[in-house]
Copies of this chain bind each other. A is one copy, B any other.
Amino acid sequence: MSVEEVLSELRRRIQSRLPPDINVTGLEFEGPELVIYTDDPRRLADDGEIIRSLAKDLRKRVVVRPDLKVLMDPEEAIKKIQEVVPKEAVLTNYHFDGETGEVIIEAEKPGLVIGRHGATLREITKLIGWTPKVVRTPPVRSSTIANIKDYLRSVQTERKSILRSIGRKIHRDIASKDQWVRISTLGGCREVGRSCMLLSTPESKIIVDCGINVGSDDSATPYLYVPEVYPLSQIDAVVLTHAHLDHSGLVPMLYKYGYEGPIYCTPPTRDLYVLLQLDYIEVAGREGKRLPYDSSMIREALKHTITLNYGDVTDIAPDTKLTMHNAGHILGSAIAHFHIGDGLYNVAFTGDFKYEKTRLFDPAVNSFPRLETLVIEATYGGANSIQPSRKEAENHLLRVVRETIKRGGKVVIPAFAVGRSQEVMVVLEEAIRKGLIGEFPVYLDGMIYEATAIHTSYPEYLNNELRDMIFHKGINPFLAECFVQVENSKQRDEIINGEPAVILATSGMLNGGPIMEYLKGLGPDEKNTLVIVGYQAEGTLGRRIQKGWKEIPLTVEGKTQTVKMNMEVVTVDGFSGHSDRNQLMEYVRRVYPKPSRIITNHGDESNCLDLASSIYKKYRIPTSAPMNLETIRLI
């Protein structure tokens, strides 16, 4: 059946389920959603049950939108909304989208706008015609998110046509009688840095992650020129497990070389990848490096991004459904689960994951409806890659901070903007609040503040305790007074010459960024302490300092000079967002259902091989640790 025939058949079925006086004026696939246009959305909205049962019956994600002619003038609509919604909701902003007929309502308490079982929302729909969507008023304004919203609004006509064409591709006919599922390894196998795999069937080709190894020149990018993926026009979808550059960094380049399809990721991953990619090309450009893409390609990627929340089961190809599950690694990080065919095969990619509860996130999901193959990261896959518990790590950090502050020194913590910084912030805030380590400012320098703003916009992606603390106890640790955003060099000088403090600054491996200024200013004084909480790759300045270098060459604002490293250097292990060896083995033991095959990646060669052979020995599950450029047939 052609897509046209599918749509008209669906339209017949939908119309037959609706009261005869409700008129379906249009039906369209937009991305993975089936959109019902009606000139009487109020009537449909009246009965939430109709849509729920339609969605279940049609096995599609169903959305109802008003026919454009029934939309109320925005000015008037705002008044109506304000009449219906209780004052306590605190409405702060409205965005009307003429293309989709949606109005995005920002409120401090979105629950009150939604009402019991969505009653208030339905009431609004009935009154104004527009379909209301509610989002929480962000406690800290993220300029990234604001820019993304503005941009998407500015291209909404084009985006709508992109979504339609994606929708039609997803719902095309299945053509082949062959049945097979394959994984091709394009990057990130027996290495860390350019994660990229291709999941393919006779019907569809899906790229899972497309990272860049920013620390390498020779092997920076995945093997995208091989015929399995090239030309990129044949790719159906790109799925991102999370926003770190080694998983998302090369995605914009795909659009430069002919890819035209969607990117699926969680909403926080979208915002964070935009932040990190823009920063990446800005820094690389400043250093005079050849850029794989420019900001117009990032906008192109954004235009094609379709966000999915954890648990949304979504058609992304004629034979493939994708569901994202919490991975516990960073904000929005996901284990990507693919259901292929009608019960034919299930495969999950862990991406980077943490199988331990952290300050910010719940441990990674380990239960799936079905699972035959698990692709698991092996960053700490080696037999000796055991990390201290998070509790031990926190105590260690606090001890070092307390001692340094006590002796009148300053603590410098190099940190990745996304992930470790927020973990450390929560730990420090609690300790300061509870009076465990004294009172002092915690300076945030580099992108950390902006990344934190994005975190505060997605409380539903944080773990229960943190969400509970923010919403019910009214303590938002990210907004605590101790945190001070650093804006410029003058302020840095003042901090360097000022009172005891903690400074969180990027970059995480000391290869650039504001951290360099602090190192220069604070390195020579032995009262100060450099606390390393993140992984330092071979070849970085961070690794050299860890090894004990006492004199380091520093380039700050173009000038290179030698700086004596007299400050104390402490490595605090245990803050990693990756599962350590014990957590990896425990995850495999507990993952449900037990997979019949496990593939290791995202670790150096020995870690990938060691984890694979250990899993086989202990659990008798067949494993492999492929090289890049291989293709494994799953069924």
Chain B nearest CB from A375 CB (Å) reads 16
Q: Is A180 interfacial (CB-CB < 8 Å)?
A: yes
| Residues from chain B with Cβ under 8 Å of A626 in the complex | 633
Report the separation of the CA atoms of residues A626 and B627 in the bound assembly, to the nearest whole angstrom.
Answer: 15
Per-position binary interface string of chain A over residues 406-445, scored 1 when its CB falls under 8 Å from any chain B CB and 0 otherwise:
0000000000000000000000000000000000000000
Contact mask A559-586 → B, CB, 8 Å, 1/0? Answer: 0000000000000000000000000000
Contact B182 A629 (CB under 8 A): yes
Chain B residues in 8 Å Cβ range of A182: 629-630
Across the interface, A227 reaches (CB within 8 A) one of B178, B234, B629, namely B234
B180, B229, B627, B629: the one contacting A629 at CB < 8 Å is: B180
Instruction: Give A626's nearest chain B residue, CB to CB.
Output: B633
CB distance from A189 to the nearest CB of B (A): 10
Chain B, Cβ-Cβ closest to A631: B631
Report the minimal beta-carbon distance from A488 to chain B, rounded to whole angstroms. Answer: 43
A484 at the interface (CB under 8 A from B): no
User: A628 contacts which chain B residues (CB < 8 A)?
Assistant: 633
- The answer on a CB contact under 8 Å between A630 and B629 is no
Tell me the residues in window 172-196 of chain A with beta carbons closer than 8 Å to chain B beta carbons. 178, 180, 182, 184
The residues of B that contact A629 with a CB separation of less than 8 Å are 180, 182, 631, 633
Asked whether A58 is an interface residue with its Cβ less than 8 Å from the other chain, the reply is: no
Q: How far is the CA of A228 from the CA of B230 in the complex (A)?
A: 10
A: contact size bracket: 20 to 34
> Is A50 on the interface with B (CB-CB < 8 A)?
no
Tell me which residues across on chain B come within 8 A of A223, comparing CB atoms: 178
Residues of B within 8 A of A469 (CB): none
Counting CB contacts under 8 A, is A284 at the interface? no
In the complex, whether A632 has a CB less than 8 A from a CB of chain B is yes
CA of A385 to CA of B627, assembled, Å: 34
Q: How far is the CA of A632 from the CA of B185 in the complex (A)?
A: 11
CB pair B633 A633 closer than 8 Å: no
Contact of A633 among B202, B205, B234, B630 (CB under 8 A): B630
Q: Which residues, 585 to 635 on A, are CB-close (under 8 Å) to B?
A: 626-633
Residues of the B chain whose Cβ atoms lie less than 8 Å from the Cβ of A228: 227-228, 631
> CA–CA, A202 to B182, complex, Å?
21
**Residue from A180, A182, A633 with most neighbouring chain B CB atoms (10 Å):** A633
Contact check, B632 vs A630: say whether CB atoms are below 8 A apart. yes
Closest to A198 in B: B227
Q: Measured between alpha carbons, how far is A205 from B227 in the docked complex, in Å? A: 10
Of chain B, the residue at the smallest CB distance from A182 is B629
Q: In the complex, what residues of B have CB within 8 A of residue A234's CB?
A: 227
Interface residues of A in 210-251 (CB under 8 A from B): 223, 225, 227-229, 234
List of B residues within 8 angstroms of A225 by Cβ: 202
Other than the given A228-B228, A628-B633, 13 more pairs (CB < 8 A) read: A178-B223, A180-B629, A182-B629, A202-B225, A205-B227, A227-B227, A227-B229, A629-B631, A629-B633, A630-B630, A630-B631, A630-B633, A631-B631
Q: Nearest 8 A-B pairs (CB), nearest first?
A: A631-B631, A627-B633, A629-B633, A227-B227, A630-B633, A630-B631, A227-B228, A180-B629
- 17 pairs of residues in contact across A and B, judged by CB atoms under 8 Å: A178-B223, A180-B629, A184-B631, A202-B225, A205-B227, A227-B227, A227-B228, A227-B229, A227-B234, A228-B228, A228-B631, A626-B633, A627-B633, A630-B630, A630-B632, A630-B633, A631-B631
